[in-house]
Amino acid sequence: MWYYIDNIKIEGDFMYVSELKAAKAVCINSNMSAVKAYQMVQNSDYSKFPVTDKEGRLVGLITKDDLEDLSDSSSPFKELRMPSILSGTKVRDIMNNNVYYTKETDTIWKAALTMKDHRVSILPVVDDDNKVISVLARNDLFKALLNFTGAKNSGLHISVESRNKDDIFRVAEIVKDAGGVLNFISFYDGRIELKITGPKAASSAEEIDKAGFKIIYSVSATN
């Protein structure tokens, strides 16, 4: 796939959450008793679970620790250990209502920013009806971002000092004219990061240097 920056052809594409291999969601119904929910998750490999209503729409999040607290004699909820009381405690009574999520139509960049800004390690993935499809973990996004930027591919990774965001277009044009294949380019924190492949990768880097840009480092990567 290709995309364009100011009519400059660049190899790559936006990646959407729907394209990731997110884990199948293990959801808990909000009307389920805390006892049943605890029995359901105590042997699970997961620690956090989306909570849904009867239509499968996302309404909250609950953790294994939340449920274990109810059965822990040292917890402030120890009085709820009586089966008759605990069975009357519903998941909706103890779940976190303030749950962050991502849509399957969101880009991986938006999902990553949601995780970063709200300091969460998982995001339920929902459709346009707010029904839970899967669960996206931080490691899923990390792998996707590495693949998207071409970090695992052979080529030349270059970091260029820049104080002007518009320099990204100049650098892309230089690579194009030099015959290099631009796999990825971005501007971040005063730097232009790019990945060039093809037989003209090295000469593309030389042309960037000749144009007056300061190359902070240049690393050749092989598979």
**C-alpha to C-alpha distance for 173 and 170, rounded to whole angstroms:** 5
Helix ranges, the chain (H) = 34-41, 64-71, 83-86, 91-94, 108-118, 138-148, 167-178, 201-210
Q: Examine the fold and report which residue of 127, 146, 165 is the final residue of a domain before the chain moves on.
A: 146
pLDDT of the residue at 216: 94
Lowest mean pLDDT among 9-18, 109-118, 194-203: 9-18
pLDDT of the residue at 25: 86
Clarify whether residues 81 and 124 are in a common domain. yes
Clarify whether residues 129 and 180 are in a common domain. no
What is the average pLDDT across 58-73? 81
Q: Tens digits of per-residue pLDDT, 151-162?
A: 667 789 999 999
Clarify whether residues 91 and 191 are in a common domain. no
SS3 label, residue 64: helix
Number of domains in the chain: 2
Q: Is residue 7 part of a domain?
A: no
Average pLDDT of the residues of the chain: 83
Residue 149's pLDDT band, with cuts at 50, 70 and 90, is low
CATH assignment at residue 195 = 3.30.70.600
